[in-house]
Amino acid sequence: MKEGNAHVASLDAEHELAIEDPSGIELPLEQQTGRGRRMTLNMGPQHPSTHGVLRVVLELDGEKILKARPEVGYLHTGIEKQFEVKKYQQGVPLTDRVDYLANLNNNLCYALAVEKLLGIEIPPMAQWMRVMLSELQRLSSHLVWLGTHAMDVGAMTVYFYTFREREEILKVFEMFSGQRMMTSYIRIGGLALEPPRGWHKAVARTIEKVATGIEEYHHLLSSNPIWVNRTKGIGMMPVKAMIDLGVTGPMLRAAGVNMDARKDSPHSSYDKFDFEVPVRTANDVYARYEVRIEEMRQSVRIVRQALEGMPEGDWRADAPHVVLPEREKMKTQMESLIYHFKIVTEGFRVPASSVYQVTESPRGELAYYVVSDGTANPHRVFMRTPSFGNLQALGAMLEGILLSDAIPVMASLDFVLGDTDR
Amino acid sequence: MSSAGWESRETKQRASVLPEAVAQDPAAITIEQQIPEAIVDAVAAADGPVLFISASQIVNVCRMLKETSRFERLSAVTAVDWWPREPRFEVVYLLHSVVHKDRLRLSVRIDEDEELDSLCGVWRGANWYEREVFDLFGVRFRNHPNLERIMMPVDWEGHPLRKDYPIHGHRYSYREE
């Protein structure tokens, strides 16, 4: 009713007073006319473009955003607390559920952290397999990002194309681990299972499909006038402020900062792969799109190299106190049976120390801080998740732009709320 | 990755001038030169040294490191509850240098009733991380612009990541109804 009054008032201020307002509140004239009137809008927690349960409190002046305040915590599940009552190996399935679009990257980071505490060496074959799988996971995560980003902007078709390719990658994961998404395939001490028969052919076929797909999206979007108009020149922010607020990953690389944990602190033989870290300087939504598309091409390159040069050898470490023995040995050898029983019932002890293991997830800097007190349960596991840091900059990024631009800007952050709230 | 045995690799030393574990660490030397007595202890963790800073000096040390040693990024702030040990909490600051590709871990030991200075004046990004530490551990930060709960609902009682907080159980029991 009040809205109606304001509308009439803007048409004819003199006649406006004749209509009675049931609320009985009399607003000053400039507020009635809509000029300078502020409105608070709750975007989310159930808004489709928030891709989860993020609430953004927007203060609007017409279509312009004056202030934006992201509210997180709706998906907090206490994963860090749950770690403290689990054995180290039992924590791996929890890491899947943090960032549900980049499960293997989380598995990898946790496994690396605990392996560093244990001081065990991972055989080259397992390392290369880990790299290959995490790059496939990066591809699948970026495919979800691109599909949903394009859908937010209004291009429905891209979504079907990207999910077509993602399905192929998920089939590969299912082949390896029996699970499409919550794979828990990278474990402390190597991999969960022996790579399945015919994996090489399946991955080779999939990666060719994905490589063709990437060029398809590029042709579909990169010079599409609607896409370019919706994404170029928005969401910019000073680089210094970005670093200050904790932004990492493709967002920061689109602003010209070459920061990638795969290059800066190589783990799992990433240094043996030949790939580039794409950097752009435009710092807008379109540059972030370019960086991620280029990252997908580089991931394809890494997977191809892994297929070509996959070393022979064991897929798990030679550490009988950590890694479960082979099924056959467990049934025939006394010693293996004892190890199996010990690991399953009481886990393994980890020397008292702490470690901060940094890796690069599809969204940015992913780090696990694991504190051990010498027992079989972690004393504390903290996850430095990229979405949490990136979301902190959302408020500053949305200020002063139009409400319709807020959707592509939020999509360009590529946040996962499970990753944010843990 | 070094292959060490089962024995604990955490070698503790009392601070005389500079603990032995960090005697060669450039960041530790800089801190010792610029702000003497800031480092109260140091240990060698699995991935490098950890410097324990006195609670009153943490903001000064961080500002100095940001301005002179080019640790321009704060990767995260978190805490560890060592209950029932005293002092109870260890607040951990994870610093990162993008230019030098270097990382540094600072720790502050504080007791349950103590307050810590907020780092929001040095890095704006400390805001949410300190809110999280406050929410889940109950560590209070002085001069924080908005020290509210971030993960738990605003009316939540208790701090879930404390060691004396139960892992499961409901706040409301059906038996009481």
Query: What string of DSSP letters covers B135-168?
Result: HHH--EEET-TT---SSS-TT--S-TTSTTS-SS
Q: Where are the beta strands (DSSP E) in chain B?
A: 12-14, 39-45, 48-53, 73-81, 89-97, 102-110, 115-117, 140-142
pLDDT at A22: 52
Of A91, A118, A123, nearest to A107 by C-alpha is: A91
The model's confidence at residue B163, banded by pLDDT at 50, 70 and 90, is confident
Q: Is the pLDDT of residue B7 over 80?
A: no
- pLDDT tens across A220-232, in order? 888 888 889 888 8
Chain A residues 185-244 with a CB less than 8 Å from chain B:
241, 243-244
Across the interface, whether the CB atoms of B150 and A84 are under 8 A apart is answered: no
Pairs of CB atoms within 8 A across A/B: 114
The alpha carbon of residue B34 is apart from the nearest alpha carbon of chain A, in Å, by 23
Which percentage of chain B shows pLDDT scores above 70? 84
CB contact under 8 A, A369 and B103: no
> What is the least distance, in Å, from the CA of B159 to any CA of chain A?
11
- The residue ranking higher by pLDDT, A227 or B9, is A227
Q: Is the confidence at residue B9, as pLDDT, over 60?
A: no
- List pLDDT tens digits, range A112-161: 999 999 989 899 999 999 999 999 999 999 999 999 998 888 888 888 99
B29 touches chain A (CB under 8 A): no
Torsion sign, CA atoms B58, B63, B65, B66 = positive
Q: How confident is the model at residue B13 (pLDDT cuts 50, 70, 90)?
A: very low
The pLDDT of residue B172:
56
A121 touches chain B (CB under 8 A): yes
pLDDT score at B5? 40
Nearest Cβ partner for A354 among B46, B165, B167: B46
Cβ neighbours of A243 in B, within 8 Å: 72-73, 98
Instruction: State the pLDDT at residue A128.
Output: 92
Q: A382: which chain B residues are within 8 Å (Cβ-Cβ)?
A: 76, 78, 92
Closest residue in chain B to residue A119, using alpha carbons only: B3
- Confidence at residue A210, expressed as pLDDT on a 0 to 100 scale: 93
Q: For residue A259, give the chain B residue with the closest CA.
A: B98
Strands B115-117 and A39-43: unpaired
* B contact residues 45-74, partner A, Cβ 8 Å cutoff: 45-47, 50, 72-74
Say what the pLDDT of residue A40 is.
Answer: 86
- The β-bridge partners of B80 are B90
Listed as ranges, residues in chain A with pLDDT below 70 are 1-36, 48-50
* Record: contact A244-B123, CB cut-off 8 A: yes
Q: Is A86 on the interface with B (CB under 8 A)?
A: no
Place of tokens 């077509």: A164
**Shortest Cα distance, chain B CAs vs residue A246, angstroms:** 5
Verdict on whether the full-model pTM lies above 0.80? yes
B93 has a pLDDT exceeding 90: yes
- The C-alpha atoms of residue A341 and residue B135 are separated, in whole angstroms, by 39
By C-alpha distance, the chain A residue nearest B122 is A244
List chain B residues with CB under 8 Å of A130. none
Residue type, A13: A
- For A259, the closest of B2, B98, B128 (CB atoms) is B98
Predicted local confidence at residue A411, as pLDDT: 87
- How many whole angstroms separate alpha carbon A306 and alpha carbon A378? 33
Instruction: Note the residue count of chain A.
Output: 422
Give me the pLDDT at residue B27, please.
Answer: 78
Calpha distance A140→A162 (Å, rounded): 9
Q: What is the pLDDT of residue A28?
A: 55
Partner B contacted by A78 (CB < 8 A): yes
